[in-house]
Amino acid sequence: MFRSLARLHHQFGNALSLCKRRTNHHHFSCSLKYSSVATERKRFYQDVTISQGEGGLFEINLDRRKLKTPGGKLLTVPNEALAIAVATEWDTQRDSLKFYAMHLTTLCNTALDNPTQRNEDQMISAALKFLETDTVCYRVEEPYGLVDLQKNEWDPVLQWIENRYDVTIGSSSSIMGPDIPQATKDTFYQHLKSYNFWSLTGLEYVITQLKSVVLSLGMIDRYLSVEQAVLLSRLEEEYQIRCWGNVEWAHDYDMYELRARTAAGALFVHLSSEGSTVKRKLLQD
């Protein structure tokens, strides 16, 4: 156990010192720091607990060591619910740590380390870029079964979001996609301005998973469940599965992964936006 701790420390130490030396080579040091995510490591701790540290932020403890981000910062989260969810991810790892399956931890790391060094404006424009090529806006002209399916399944969501935010989006079957007016983009920009950095991190993650701003906002606003949003995002694939059959090791595998990632992102947005349910209920009691 001690040896692996030492090794961990050694790696972090290395990454840190590299970071200091190569401040002008951000990309290099970042890819080096995050390379450990893909590999598995033996579980080196017994107990996982949470504690409330300075400023009311919550920390996660592995035995008596505090959990840190790959960038070397202390991993602190804004509320108890998120801390417990992250701690549960660490607690449920059996023999080896599967970092690729610990989505909430990954999101916390991203929000804390901000490895791409972006500010909120840049994140909002990156997220809204997906609106121009939104999955639900692109329609096919054949086969007819899929045309009907897209119309019946996607149109209600489009209608809902157009009413909810009072915008025009529309759909198109041309390769250029629909012409989305600037007013629509401005409205969404203003809306996303109200998100804090953590919830923006989560929202952008969800949007890149579902490849759709419309479906993501539908899910965050509780119009769609995670399962529905993932189904709508994979509509064409589901249609092909219906025609040609389901392959468990490709289709189901992808679907469960997408569901897990999307759910993690949505939960992350929910738990890190201010005025969470938890606090309100505690005050009422």
Partner 1 sequence: MAASPSSLRVYRGILKELRAMQGQNYKQSLAYNYVTDQFRKNQVTGERYCRAQQEALHASQTYLCLLASSRNHQALHNLYHAKGERNPEDVAGLVGLRLPTQPGGKGWEK
Q: Contact 98/36 with Cβ under 8 angstroms?
A: no
- Kindly give, in sequence order, each residue whose CB lies less than 8 Å from that of residue 279, ignoring residues fewer than 6 positions away: 79
Q: Closer to partner 1 at the Cβ: 28 or 253?
A: 253
Q: Closer to partner 1 at the Cβ: 118 or 270?
A: 270
Alpha-carbon gap, residue 214 to 232, rounded angstroms? 11
Site track 24-53 with partner 1 (rule: CB under 8 A), x = hit: ------------------------xxx---
CA 59 from chain center: how many Å?
21
Residue 280 contacts partner 1 per CB under 8 A: yes
Site for partner 1 in 42-101 (CB under 8 A): 48-50, 80-81, 84-85, 87-88, 91-92, 98, 101
Site track 212-251 with partner 1 (rule: CB under 8 A), x = hit: ----------x--xxx--------------------xx--
| Count of residues making up the chain | 285
CB of 262 to partner 1, least distance (A): 8
Answer positive or negative: Cα dihedral of 45, 114, 27, 131.
positive
Site track 155-184 with partner 1 (rule: CB under 8 A), x = hit: ------------------------------
CB of 118 to partner 1, least distance (A): 26
Instruction: Look at residue 41 and give its three-state secondary structure.
Output: strand
Site for partner 1 in 96-125 (CB under 8 A): 98, 101, 103
Torsion of CA 268, 270, 272, 273, to 10 degrees: 150
Q: Closer to partner 1 at the Cβ: 48 or 167?
A: 48
Q: Contact 131/204 with Cβ under 8 angstroms?
A: no
Q: Contact 50/87 with Cβ under 8 angstroms?
A: yes
- Kindly give, in sequence order, each residue whose CB lies less than 8 Å from that of residue 6, ignoring residues fewer than 6 positions away: none
CB of 217 to partner 1, least distance (A): 14
Residue 57 phi, psi dihedral angles, 5° rounding? -80, 150
Contacting positions for partner 1 (CB under 8 A)? 48-50, 80-81, 84-85, 87-88, 91-92, 98, 101, 103, 222, 225-227, 248-249, 252-253, 256-257, 259-260, 263-264, 266-267, 270-271, 277-278, 280-282, 285
